[in-house]
Amino acid sequence: MTRPKTKILVDGGDPQETRRIQELLGFVDGQTTNPSLIAKNPHIKELITSGHKLSNREEMDEYKKIVQTISPLVGDAGVSIEVFSDEKTTAQEMFSQGQEMFSWIPNAYIKYPCTAEGLRAAQNSVKQGMRVNMTLCFSQQQAAAVYAATKGTKEPAYVSPFVGRLDDIGQNGMDVVKNIKRMFSKGDGHVLVLAASIRSLEHLLYCFALQTELATVPAKTLELWASKNFPTPDNQFQYKAPGKSIPYEELDLEQPWERFDIQHELTRKGIEKFAADYRATLSRIAEREERKTKAPQTQMGTSGFPRPSLSSGRRRQLPADDPGAII
């Protein structure tokens, strides 16, 4: 197999699956996880099926165990770990979760959503030397905001445009990948494009053709690629777009991130889906008890998602004069 220039990450939450793909391909460059994928982890599903729903602390601990098992199986693209959030979660709450999660493994990337609060959390994370992956990106404007918010990062940040979900609403999701790549070619290279929501072999091959820096791919698509003897696109390759073209926008990457239009309905729906999948694994009684007692290991934020305790060694409160501070 001729190894593609595009780094390949496994999109999943099962270490056994990662190990199987590593053996199949001979390598795995990285892994992406999210609350929905963690909820599908066989061990988590077994717990839920047996009637044991998790407390917030147990959920965090299980997530930690999963990514610690995956971490040594992958290459230098790292393991992306997503904070638990909904539309009410503040930047401070995301940032606090991100600090705890970043301490779990040496190759962590913290995933924040492409929202105003997520961008504030990312802005402060990169100041602390944390690696970030901005997820649920559906537009060139959101990617431009990520570029602006992550300036000064010590290591390249990732932005993850979701291809398949744009296809689902009748648009050509790969256009967003292509447009962001074109826009970033005028920049300083501190943000890499990580194509996500890859649904087909054609999506993957077009990522190769565009020389997208990274692509996160479900195991079944990687297995299909392997079954066809690892094809790569040649000069005759043509991608058959399933939907309406998304035009390129001329954007000034030197603007502050707040100047860009970051609103997108699919980002909102994606956050709702992840939040619902996360809550489905939780015991309602455990949630109520943790809100009442504010257990020192993990306190609940105002949104009902876990917030590390003040004793956490990596936690830093945003100062009032910090542009990302919540006042």
From the candidates 7, 53, 111, 178, which is the catalytic residue?
A: 111
Closest by CA to 161, choosing from 115, 194, 113, is 194
Over the Cα atoms of the chain, what is R_g?
19
> What are the backbone dihedrals phi and psi of residue 26, each rounded to the nearest 5 degrees, phi first?
90, -5
Which residues is 307 bridged to in the sheet?
Answer: 299
Relative to beta strand 157-161, strand 108-113 is unpaired
Q: Is 53 marked active-site?
A: no
CB 223 within 8 A of CB 247: no
Give CA–CA dist 118/86, Å, rounded.
10
Closest by CA to 100, choosing from 287, 307, 291, is 307
How far is the first Cα of the chain from the last one, in angstroms, to the nearest whole number? Answer: 54
Scanning the chain, the segments in alpha helix (DSSP H) are 15-25, 35-39, 42-49, 56-70, 91-102, 116-127, 140-149, 163-168, 173-184, 201-210, 219-227, 265-280, 284-293
Which residues is 9 bridged to in the sheet?
Answer: 30, 216
Give CA–CA dist 193/159, Å, rounded.
5
Q: What is the dihedral of CA 153, 154, 156, 159, to 10 degrees?
A: -30
Q: Which residues are catalytic?
A: 111
